[in-house]
Amino acid sequence: MTKKRVEAVDPEKNLIKFRVIEGDMMKDFKSFVSTIQVIPKHGEPGSVVKWHMEYEKIIVDAGHPETILQLAVEISKDIDEYLLAEE
Render pLDDT for 11-33 as a digit per residue (tens, 0 to 9): 999 999 999 999 888 888 899 99
Measured CA to CA, the distance from residue 66 to residue 74 in angstroms comes to: 13
- E strands in 1-69: 2-10, 15-23, 29-40, 47-57
Distance CA 27, CA 44 (A): 43
Structural domains present in the chain: 3-86 (3.30.530.20)
For the chain, list residues with pLDDT below 50: none
- C-alpha 36/C-alpha 73 separation (Å) is 12
Which amino acid makes up residue 3? K
| One-letter amino acid of 65 | P
pLDDT at 82: 78
Q: What is the pTM of this model?
A: 0.75
